[in-house]
Chain A
Amino acid sequence: MQDDALSERNRRAYEAVHEADDFALLKKRYKNFALPWTIAFMAWYLLYVVCNNWARDFMSTKLVGHVNVALVFGLLQFVSTFVIAWLYGRHANRQLDPLADGLNAKYKRERRR
């Protein structure tokens, strides 16, 4: 276990980062992306599940040749997953990482004080 002086210094460093404006901004940016997108993909997925159960005529509609709505809807789940994963990566690289790096550096500085 750490000695008390060290853990006290850690605690203060965490507190300093927690109080920083950048941290509030980081938190806001993270949540503003993660929460709406989580709700969106869950709703989109559940809509697909519900259609499989209770909208079978719609799902069985043929589109091109033997390809029907059900298959296309399923494939769109793949597309949306790939796209959201890519969007999140882009958002995190541009909007989150610079702030997180800055705050991490601040934490290290504070700990040395």
Chain B
Amino acid sequence: MNVSLMIPLAAEPGNRNVTVALFLAVVAVTLYITYWASRHTKSASDYYAGGRTFSGAQNGLAVAGDYMSAASFLGISGQIALYGYDGFLYSIGFLVAWLVALLLIAELMRNSGRYTMADQLAYRMRQKPVRTAAATSTIVVSIFYLLAQMVGAGTIVGLLLGITSTSGKAVVIAIVGVLMVFYVTVGGMKGTTWVQIVKAVLLMSGTVLITFLVALKFDFNISKLLGAAADHTGKGEAFLQPGLLYGKDLTGQIDFLSLALALVLGTAGLPHILIRFYTVPNAKAARRSVQWAIGLIGTFYLMTLALGFGAAALLDTGKDSAIAKSKGNIASIALSENVGGGPGSFGGTLLLALIAAVAFATILAVVAGLTLTSASSFAHDLYSNVFVRGKVSEKQEIRVARYAAGGIGAIAIALAIPAQKLNIAFLVALAFAVAASANLPALLFNLFWPRFNTRGATWSIYGGLLTAVVLVFFSPVVSGKVDPKTGASLSMFTDTGIDFHWFPLDNPGIISIPAGFLFGIIGTLLSKDRSSEARYGELEVRALTGAGAEQ
């Protein structure tokens, strides 16, 4: 299948030169930032937490940059372009989730933690078991998310540059992997944060521009845009109503509920989001960062409505179209070419290349954040506090974190290249489900339940993690899901002969989230250990007032 024939996009030589030039510009800017950051990174607090000197607004931009992955940028607008209203539902869960982070987690985390998610949990628990559990979950969640991003990067960057062969895409994946390892080993949290800030500014500006151009075409009349999308897709009003993508039968409806729960509860348990709260000087700034993030992310998702419905109204999104074949991923980019003046025009070419470069920057910023998170957790939690038990200097620990970043990058590249042949888009939803089932129960119990103890913490983390992963392994997303129309496999194993699923839902959240909480309660009550209760008062004071918090 020759994609470049179907997509008169970046694959055209004229377009490709502009796109490549802008890609290189993104790489140059981020490399310079990393170099600059490396000269301002000396202590462990610089490396892990960016020196805790970012302002609320800066960190808010970085949080938004960390959170809005290519799946958000290209995926959600693409889903809206293909499935109309239902495509919009993901973004609502993604946004409302931030209230959990704002009201229950961000400030308390900032005050009572240090560098990693495990620091917060280990505060009043036995270090070794709790850190091992928290680091395991941190690394598993980050690797799932990372794999989805890297495989996505291969496909998306491949599409943008007209690279269609598997080996070509493998090269793209390797380049993205090497860049992210470079940002993280050299620039640490300072470099990563600035890369995310730059990406957020690029993403917001690019999206505002395209939204404005779409709105101009429809006289700033949302009803007119919706009507045009409904007409042009030939789906009529059904395109604007629930039901085209989710909840076609009772199983589907319960599955959608299950997904919605994971989305809304997962965000506040994502380790790469949690460690962002350590980069600001105090709880007030952590609160300001979340408020900024909510404003930015909310505005962005509102604009994806214009992007998605705009693409549906202006472009061919039919069954055999290039947009449908890319699963919607190129909708925003094709739309930018269209509203810029159409294929071949100067404006079209420029806007296409611009938005493609934004997508590239988006991927780089997100993968860097994930790599840093897992490397920090490996060095600070596992190496320093479990393997050698506090007998390392800060310098040694940072050196281990840098090697770990290299190791995680290598693993991610090695897994992502063969994973190209598999359907692994479900990994993002799985990362959210694990975060909601394993991390959130432990964090909430630790903050609000005095009796919670070491066994409760390890049980909720391992219990929630295993329940989510096992259920997904035996779900239709891994095996046995077949498109009724085409007969093609929709599962991770694309061989339709392989089918070992017994769990009916794609999303495990509705079972695994209550299971995570339940494991936490049972584990706690089954243990006679009351030592954690003695330090609860201390944790409470620290979390609420910031007394003795890391400076």
Q: Chain A: residues with CB nearer than 8 A to chain B?
A: 1, 10-11, 13-15, 17-18, 23, 26-27, 30, 33-34, 37-38, 41-42, 45-46, 48-50, 52-54, 56, 59-60, 62, 64-68, 70-71, 74-75, 77-78, 81-82, 84-86, 88-89, 92, 97, 99-100, 103-104, 107-108
Contact = CB atoms under 8 A, between A and B. Distances in A.
Nearest to B257: A49
Nearest to A45: B96
B470 interface: no
Contacts of B237: 60, 62, 66, 68
B243 A56 contact: yes
A43 B284 CA distance: 27
Contact of A42 (B98, B256, B264): B264
B520 interface: no
B104 interface: yes
A1 to B, nearest CB: 7
Contacts of B89: 52, 74
A82 B96 contact: no
B13 interface: no
Interface residues of B, number: 54
Interface in B481-540: 537-538, 540
B541 interface: yes
B179 interface: no
B298 A26 contact: no
A63 B257 CA distance: 26
A53 to B, nearest CB: 4
Contacts of B240: 66, 68, 70-71
Contact of B295 (A10, A30, A82): A82
A30 B544 contact: yes
Contacts of B283: 100
Contacts of A108: 547
A23 B298 CA distance: 34
A81 to B, nearest CB: 6
B545 A52 contact: no
Contacts of A89: 287-288, 291
Secondary structure dominating the interface of B: helix
A59 B104 contact: no
B298 to A, nearest CB: 5
A100 B301 CA distance: 35
Nearest to A38: B103
A65 B264 CA distance: 31
Given A10-B548, A26-B545, A88-B103, 13 more contacts: A1-B390, A14-B537, A14-B538, A18-B541, A23-B541, A53-B256, A54-B253, A77-B92, A77-B95, A81-B298, A82-B294, A104-B547, A107-B548
B5 to A, nearest CB: 35
A67 B287 contact: no
Contacts of A1: 390
Contacts of A70: 85, 240-242
Q: What's the dominant secondary structure at chain A's contact region?
A: helix
Nearest to A55: B242
Interface string B67-98: 00000000000000000010011001101101
Interface string B85-123: 100110011011011101110010000000000000000
B246 interface: yes
B541 A84 contact: no
B538 to A, nearest CB: 4
A74 B545 contact: no
Nearest to A56: B242
A23 to B, nearest CB: 7
B430 to A, nearest CB: 19
A99 B95 CA distance: 30
B223 A66 contact: yes
Contacts of A67: 222-223, 226
A15 to B, nearest CB: 7
Given A17-B547, A49-B256, A74 B92 contact: yes
Contact of A53 (B257, B264, B287): B257
